Amino acid sequence: MSTTPALYSQALLLLGGAVIAAPIFKKLGLGTVLGYLAAGVVIGPLLKQITEGEQILGFAELGIVFLLFVIGLELKPSRLWQMRRDIFGLGTAQVMLTGGIVSAIVYETGILDWAGSVVTGFGLALSSTAFALQILDEKNDTNTRYGQRTFSLLLLQDLAIVPLLALIPLIALQAPEDTTSPLYDFGVAIAAILALVIAGRYVLNPVFQIIARTGAREVMIAAALLIVMGAATIMQLAGLSMAMGAFLAGVMLAESSYRHELEADIEPFRGLLLALFFMAVGLSLQIDVIVENYVLILLAVPLLMVIKALVIYGLCRVTGSPHNDAVRIGLLLPQGGEFGFVLFTAAAAAGVFSSSTASLLIVIVTLSMALTPPASALAGLLMQEQADATEELEEDFEGAGADVLMIGFSRFGQIASQILLAGGRDVTIIDHSAARVRQAATFGFRIYFGDGTRLDVLRAAGIERAKIVAICTHKAEITDRIIDMVQAEYPNARIFARAYDRLHTLTLRARGVDYELRETFESGLLFGRRTLESLGVGDNEALAITDDIRRRDEARLALQEAEGISAGRDMLHFQPVRPEPTPLVKPKREVLPTADNDDEILSNTPRDGAPKASDTIVGAE
């Protein structure tokens, strides 16, 4: 019974360390992974509150098992096929070339033997998915050209951990009591993989169908855990890594209709165990090894980052990336990654090299990860002057000029343009998203790439010929900037503008636009009216209430223009009303703009070449 309080106190220390360290490091821009690692170092090697780091690490490796299962679930064959060139071409070349160079340097300097050099080289060739994706997300660059290539490189690196982990048992020193031949072990491993693939193909889905019919959620969770642990155990018994078994199980279920539910069931276990794994790595670090080899560490970290950056830059340039994109990618991925911790820990456990070597390599990876934010910031100094943060097309306004110049072609503009086109009016549309321009052009729209905040772009798009300038951008500050510019240069232009909210409406009215409309106002009225009708209120009465709300809202806006936003509170409805009935003219089908979906279904238009009802333009705002 004496061990139970100790276990509780250790659990409290680990949970407390995670809760404190992770938010602090994330706030500093260093990521939660380094936070967990730092918490482990403080609790273990520094304060010596927990000394059984290796034991905790053995259990926490289940976090890596669950992570590989989730990665497998995400790898749908269709997605891999779309990105195949960058993933399997550029990604494979980067891992092989970087791993080969680093392995050769380690071996030639005599630091490790050939087996240890191979594991070290290819482990350091992997970059940090968590750090890179976090930086891309903060810069809103995930969907740019360089962001997509970066993701492809990271995805291949995540895949590479599977064969690298499988390689460790093959190159590790075979135990004396193991009398089987390497050929026999290889055959057993292949048989285990085939058995897992067949089971995933013909057994897993029927099993989940049976369980789903019971409606017992806890059984689905138990089944998910059983699948992951079972596949991992089979691989371990065959002499391969548990992570590889979990990964294969995930790939087998990637096309399953239960994929999302499985991912949701596994996610809590994955997150907690992964955090525990990184903390256990920190607990297992040998501080004395770091102190004794600090010179080697200070030399190895910058050398690793320079080698990786140059290799990635060169490969990106060779495969078609412009200079600026190649610089961004190279300085975003020069660090070691989380899977390096996994690989080095597994190699030390298998006897490929010592635990002190693993500690040394983990410190090198950790420092390189900490230097990622400044390395990424350095990219701005190395890029050419005409650096473009987002994808651009050539600005070609040949044939531009129409009755209406529409600026912005996201969901609001897509719907508004349908009314104009159906009414037989010409519309010139400009938008700053290259992807949206290309896609909209395939539907027959006359749309041009250009920045609506630039006066030269508006002139080239034919603003002088336009009878109305329709500003349909989705950010209030951009809308206001365009309005100020148009009114200053073309004071007689009629401006119709999309308003973001009530405050923006008042701002637009103060600027003197000819017409404004809050993007959600009419759709909200329609939604409320339909809800009333579904609750039993008569059609005429529901329509009359809707019209009364619209009139009151307009009167309150006029009052707020004169007296401020707080005016007109008494005009809001908080009690049932009985307005005068409004004659009902109900269309067969009513379609109004919504602000809830970026994917808009385009209605029929009588014009030749215009989009059909089944056409969809996808434009993320």
Report the mean per-residue pLDDT for the chain. 76
Give yes or no for residue 335 having a pLDDT over 80.
Answer: yes
Cα separations (Å) of 386 from 319, 325, 433?
Answer: 21, 12, 18
pTM (predicted TM-score): 0.53
Cα separations (Å) of 309 from 44, 89, 197, 334, 371?
Answer: 34, 18, 37, 5, 13
pLDDT score recorded for residue 315: 93
Give 136 or 40, the one with higher predicted confidence: 40
Give yes or no for residue 320 having a pLDDT over 80.
Answer: yes
Q: What are the φ/ψ torsions at residue 433 (nearest 5 degrees)? A: -95, 115
Q: Token pair for residue 409?
A: 């072609």
User: pLDDT, tens digit, for every residue of 517-534?
Assistant: 888 888 888 898 899 889
User: pLDDT, tens digit, for every residue of 243-255?
Assistant: 667 777 777 777 6
Which residue in the block uniquely carries the two structure tokens 């997150």? 271
Give 315 or 205, the one with higher predicted confidence: 315
Provide mean pLDDT across the span 125-149: 73
Which alpha helices (DSSP H) does 238-337 contain, by range? 242-252, 259-284, 287-292, 294-318, 323-332
How far, in Å, CA of 313 to CA of 302, rounded? 16
Judged by phi (left if over 0) then psi (alpha if -120 to 50, else beta), residue 408 lies in: left
pLDDT score recorded for residue 443: 65
In whole angstroms, how large is the CA radius of gyration of the chain? Answer: 31
pLDDT score recorded for residue 178: 53
pLDDT score recorded for residue 180: 60
Q: From the CB of residue 117, how many other CB atoms can be counted at a distance below 10 Å?
A: 21
Beta-bridge partners for 444: none
Let me know: does 130 contact 340? Beta carbons within 8 Å: no
User: pLDDT, tens digit, for every residue of 399-457?
Assistant: 456 788 888 888 888 888 888 888 878 888 888 777 777 677 666 666 777 778 888 78
pLDDT score recorded for residue 3: 53
Give 330 or 417, the one with higher predicted confidence: 330
Band of pLDDT at residue 603, cut at 50, 70 and 90: very low
- Lowest average pLDDT, out of 271-280, 341-350, 471-480, goes to 271-280
pLDDT score recorded for residue 580: 56
pLDDT score recorded for residue 507: 87
Provide mean pLDDT across the span 181-185: 66
Let me know: does 448 contact 396? Beta carbons within 8 Å: yes
Judged by phi (left if over 0) then psi (alpha if -120 to 50, else beta), residue 332 lies in: alpha
Give 620 or 81, the one with higher predicted confidence: 81
DSSP, residue by residue, 142-194? TTSHHHHHHHHHHHHHHHHHHHHHHHHHHHSPPPTT--S-HHHHHHHHHHHHH
Give 141 or 128, the one with higher predicted confidence: 128
Provide mean pLDDT across the span 124-128: 89
Band of pLDDT at residue 176, cut at 50, 70 and 90: very low
Judged by phi (left if over 0) then psi (alpha if -120 to 50, else beta), residue 180 lies in: beta
Give yes or no for residue 91 having a pLDDT over 70.
Answer: yes
User: pLDDT, tens digit, for every residue of 492-506?
Assistant: 889 999 988 888 888
Give yes or no for residue 118 having a pLDDT over 80.
Answer: yes
- Express as a percent the part of the chain with pLDDT over 70: 76
User: pLDDT, tens digit, for every residue of 280-303?
Assistant: 777 777 777 778 888 888 999 999
Band of pLDDT at residue 570, cut at 50, 70 and 90: low
β-strand 599-601 against 616-618: which pairing, if any? antiparallel
Give yes or no for residue 508 having a pLDDT over 60.
Answer: yes
Which residue segments constitute the domains of the chain, with CATH numbers given?
Answer: 16-382 (1.20.1530.20), 404-618 (3.40.50.720)
User: pLDDT, tens digit, for every residue of 20-40?
Assistant: 888 888 787 666 777 887 888
pLDDT score recorded for residue 339: 80
- Lowest average pLDDT, out of 136-140, 379-383, 421-425, goes to 136-140
How far, in Å, CA of 24 to CA of 440, rounded? 44
pLDDT score recorded for residue 309: 93
pLDDT score recorded for residue 577: 60
Judged by phi (left if over 0) then psi (alpha if -120 to 50, else beta), residue 493 lies in: beta
Angle of CA points 513, 516, 517, to nearest 5°: 175
User: pLDDT, tens digit, for every residue of 184-238?
Assistant: 767 777 787 788 778 777 777 777 777 777 767 778 778 778 888 888 888 777 7
pLDDT score recorded for residue 521: 85
pLDDT score recorded for residue 596: 39
Give yes or no for residue 609 having a pLDDT over 50.
Answer: no
pLDDT score recorded for residue 137: 63
pLDDT score recorded for residue 330: 92
How far, in Å, CA of 369 to CA of 359, rounded? 15
